[in-house]
Structure 1
Amino acid sequence: MEKILAGTVVLDLTRFFSGPQATLFLAGLGAEVIKIDDPATGDPTTFSPPFAGPEGVSFHRRTQADMGIAYLKRARGKKSVGLNLKDPEGLAAFMRLVRSADVVVDNFSAGVADRLGIGYEALRERNPRVIHCSLTGYGSTGAERHLKAYDLMVQAAVGMMSITGQPGSPPAKAGSPISDAIAGTFAAMGILAALLHRNRTGVGQSVDVSMADCLFALMFDEPFDCYDALELPLRQGNRIMRFSPFNAYRTLDGWIVAGAATQDDWNALLRVMGKVDLAQDPEMNSLAWRLANNAAVDSLVSEWTQRLTSTEVLQRLNAVKLPCSPVREIGDVMRWGQLKERGMMAPLWNPLAGAAVQAQGPGFPIKFSASKAEYDAPAPLPGQHSREVLTGLGGLSAEEVDALARRGAVSAP
């Protein structure tokens, strides 16, 4: 089966997480993603801790074959070209690649691409059909567009840290850099939409993706702006303000989560707990009362779960189709058969070591019935494809590539 984006050429100027996440998804869908890295510095994650190599994982390079785990994950399915865009001839070579490219992606700070001469207007002059996607912390417009941002700053800026954790607790971020991951996902979606638009109209365009916009768009489905009027604390812990009960509950040997989203769910939970008499209680049978008195409801559920093992609780709740789950630690997740059966845990190949390493990476998260979507090539060696891409896609001669390499504008091993 052919991949959906087969034949689509993406020039990837991104670094760290948000941009490489977007281009990783495009690679999984079959695009020819070409990483463009400075020959002098390379991708900053290539040799940054934590490392994985022949002697395992470590914060220190134990062998010359050790490579950064982040690079081994995020560069899968991509090609690598070392090209100095600050060198006039390196820039000219890049623009020759642009003529044949479908997409250019960067996550420079706002205005940097224009200063380098590779902003959308410059790209469009070379290729009117090109799609340019820019990922930034706060967008390419607005008074604060030039502020530098990482995930922590974005979670703080849009209020995510004010709603995460238990009531009365200090500000806390989500456990993973979700604003990066979410922005990368939205960027991939925006690029796909722009490609569809171009197929219909023949016209390329610029796609402006802000980490702050993307995170806010997802979290603001919840009516946080109404919490004061509803006399609710912003930090709800594991709760959700529309359902009760809906929380994490201790068992004899661990924790589970469970929630009653409907009246049928609530009645089923009462039966499982042996509390059917409460179905006639006008207060307990009222969702509005349970929401206002959630502590009493949680106490009722906890009293039941703490007398049983997690397995016993989950068996009884699943038997009545009540939404529930064990609270798995990461070690348990890595052994979870459901994710394994769906190909969501993939071995990582270290090209310097010529072997798989201890760490694993996520598989492609969307499954199609009529096409493949997977990362079917490992992360490349830095500059591995410079000659192939510059002579093939860019149309340079071997002698021209050699000349660029001699002046340091290209790394061509």
Structure 2
Amino acid sequence: MSERPLQGKVVVDLTTALAGPYATLLLGGLGARVIKVENPDTGGDASRNNSPYLTADGLGVRRQDADDMSVSMLVRGRNKESVTLNLKDPQGREVLADLVRAADVVVENYSAGVTARLGIDHEWARELNPRVVYTSISGFGAQGGPGSGKAMDTIIQALSGVMMTAGAPGEPPVRFGLPVGDLVAPLYAVIGTLAAVVQADRTGRGQHVDVSMLGALTSLVACEPFDALEEIGLPTRTGPTVPRLAPFGIFAARDGWLALCAPTNSFAHGALRAIERPDLVGDPRFAERDGRVANAAALHDLIADWARDRDVATVCAAFTAHGAPAAEVRDPRAAVRDPLVAQRGEVVPLADPRFGTVAELRATGVPIRMSDSDTTLDRPAPRLGQHTEAVLGELLGYGEDRIEDLLKAGVL
């Protein structure tokens, strides 16, 4: 499967940190040629300076050598070509203009208003290339938002309401350990970008795809009926269990934790048989779903008492044998080493340009499998500016003298 879905498409990547680079990572994994434009004066993408670093002696908190690369960049920079370009220099913007003319997609995640100040916004790009799809990922949308318009993942989590969906009533807000705001927005950005590319191929006209981190995450919060729950007096924060789906939640075993999700009659009855209480299957408190919701605390206590003195494996096996969905709660290190996700390429070993595959490190793959197309991240992250001369020479047709002049002028 050498053919890739986006083969032949060129993406100019003006992103930094996580939200934007994750979007372009996926586009690269789907086969697009991603040309990452980085500022030579600031050390490039901000994630190049994220600890930890991979060094000749293994992982370390600090760089030992100038070529040591951040693990963040090793993950997010795969399948990309790095070009250094000073966009504050008029000559730098001229080079970027040539890249945009050759591109199918431009992706940026500057704060609102920055591209206009730099003179590289969607209107500018459309004048250069009417077919180009210009995708913006920002905290609050292209028009800006609260305060300065600056957005970090925790700020977005706080504003979206998601922090008040986990934990129990009266407890402090819960910040998700996974940066969900930074990761949800790029998913929507990729969906919007691909839809716009399909339309551009059909009509010859590109457009502006505008995705906000706040809107993306809040839209997911709105998928659950939290306001309806409040209206009928059910708590929106329920700790490790979900009473309205009882039996449903996280339970402690002797050697760890497990998740049980048994909201339907067949699942719930199986769970009761698993805890050796078949006599309760016909009990009016537990026979039907509404009864289980009304008596959720008693039902969850029965399960907790039964599981507490048994091994996780024993508990999960009992529930599974009786048709009630259950699984151990794994830590991230164990989860990313699951043979199934490895076999499917959803998590892959991480490779370094100098040291090759690093056995102890795992990174995201492209969790999209296709029957007739390859969707892989098979090229390591580039050094800062590694492809500058090749891209300018091969893609834009610049001669050696022009490239040398731009280097001397500090544009590249």
TM > 0.5 between the two?
yes
Counterpart residue number, 1:382: 384
What's the offset of the Cα at 1:143?
5.2
* CA contact 2:130–2:205 (8 Å) conserved in 1: yes
What TM-score comes out, normalization by structure 1 length?
Answer: 0.95
What's the offset of the Cα at 1:146?
4.9
CA distance in 1, matches of 2:239, 2:314: 25
* CA separation of 1:143 and 1:180: change in aligned 2, threshold 3 A: closer
* CA contact 1:339–1:345 (8 Å) conserved in 2: yes
What's the offset of the Cα at 1:162?
1.4
Query: Matches of residues 167-316 of structure 1 in structure 2 within 5 Å?
Result: 167-240=169-242, 242-316=244-318
What's the offset of the Cα at 1:241?
5.1
Counterpart residue number, 1:83: 85
* CA separation of 1:145 and 1:127: change in aligned 2, threshold 3 A: farther
* CA contact 1:139–1:145 (8 Å) conserved in 2: no
What's the offset of the Cα at 1:336?
2.3
Q: Deviations over 1:218-261 (max 9, x none)?
A: 12111111232221223222334541010111112111111212
Counterpart residue number, 1:54: 56
| 1:350 corresponds to which of 349, 352, 355 | 352
CA distance in 1, matches of 2:383, 2:40: 12
Counterpart residue number, 2:16: 15
* CA contact 2:243–2:297 (8 Å) conserved in 1: no
Q: Deviations over 1:276-328 (max 9, x none)?
A: 21122112223223223322111011122123211111112222332111011
Could you list the runs of 5+ residues in structure 1 that have no partner in the other structure?
none
Query: Matches of residues 119-134 of structure 1 in structure 2 within 5 Å?
Result: 119-134=121-136
The one-letter amino acid paired with 1:281 is D
| 1:137 corresponds to which of 136, 139, 147 | 139
Query: Matches of residues 34-73 of structure 1 in structure 2 within 5 Å?
Result: 34-41=35-42, 42-73=44-75
The one-letter amino acid paired with 1:105 is V
- SS of 2:37 mapped into structure 1: strand
CA distance in 1, matches of 2:65, 2:387: 24
Query: Matches of residues 360-375 of structure 1 in structure 2 within 5 Å?
Result: 360-375=362-377
* CA contact 1:96–1:395 (8 Å) conserved in 2: no
| 1:104 corresponds to which of 100, 103, 106 | 106
The one-letter amino acid paired with 1:409 is V
The percent identity for this pair of structures is 40
CA RMSD of aligned residues (A): 1.6
Query: Matches of residues 327-338 of structure 1 in structure 2 within 5 Å?
Result: 327-338=329-340
- SS of 1:291 mapped into structure 2: helix
CA distance in 2, matches of 1:344, 1:238: 28
Query: Matches of residues 149-164 of structure 1 in structure 2 within 5 Å?
Result: 149-164=151-166
* CA contact 2:242–2:248 (8 Å) conserved in 1: yes
The one-letter amino acid paired with 2:385 is G
Which segment is superposed worse, 117-126 or 385-394? 385-394
Counterpart residue number, 1:398: 400
CA distance in 1, matches of 2:41, 2:380: 23
The one-letter amino acid paired with 1:93 is V
- SS of 1:347 mapped into structure 2: strand
Which segment is superposed worse, 76-85 or 217-226? 217-226
What's the offset of the Cα at 1:355?
3.0
CA distance in 2, matches of 1:72, 1:252: 38
* CA contact 1:197–1:203 (8 Å) conserved in 2: yes
What's the offset of the Cα at 1:350?
2.2
The one-letter amino acid paired with 2:403 is V
* CA contact 2:254–2:309 (8 Å) conserved in 1: yes
CA distance in 2, matches of 1:236, 1:345: 32
The one-letter amino acid paired with 2:351 is W
Which segment is superposed worse, 341-350 or 276-285? 341-350
* CA separation of 1:35 and 1:143: change in aligned 2, threshold 3 A: closer
* CA contact 2:39–2:85 (8 Å) conserved in 1: yes
* Alignment length (residue pairs): 409
CA distance in 1, matches of 2:350, 2:67: 14
Counterpart residue number, 1:6: 7
* CA contact 1:246–1:259 (8 Å) conserved in 2: yes
Identify which of structures 1 and 2 has the higher relative contact order when contacts are C-alpha pairs closer than 8 Å and 6+ apart: 1
The one-letter amino acid paired with 1:180 is D
- SS of 1:300 mapped into structure 2: helix
* CA contact 2:164–2:173 (8 Å) conserved in 1: yes
* CA contact 1:77–1:378 (8 Å) conserved in 2: yes
* CA contact 1:35–1:80 (8 Å) conserved in 2: yes
* CA separation of 1:63 and 1:93: change in aligned 2, threshold 3 A: closer
* CA contact 1:110–1:145 (8 Å) conserved in 2: no
CA distance in 2, matches of 1:154, 1:249: 30
- SS of 1:227 mapped into structure 2: helix
* CA contact 2:14–2:38 (8 Å) conserved in 1: yes
What's the offset of the Cα at 1:385?
0.7
CA distance in 1, matches of 2:28, 2:9: 10
CA distance in 2, matches of 1:341, 1:238: 32
Counterpart residue number, 2:322: 320
What's the offset of the Cα at 1:142?
6.1
What TM-score comes out, normalization by structure 2 length?
Answer: 0.95
* CA contact 1:138–1:145 (8 Å) conserved in 2: no
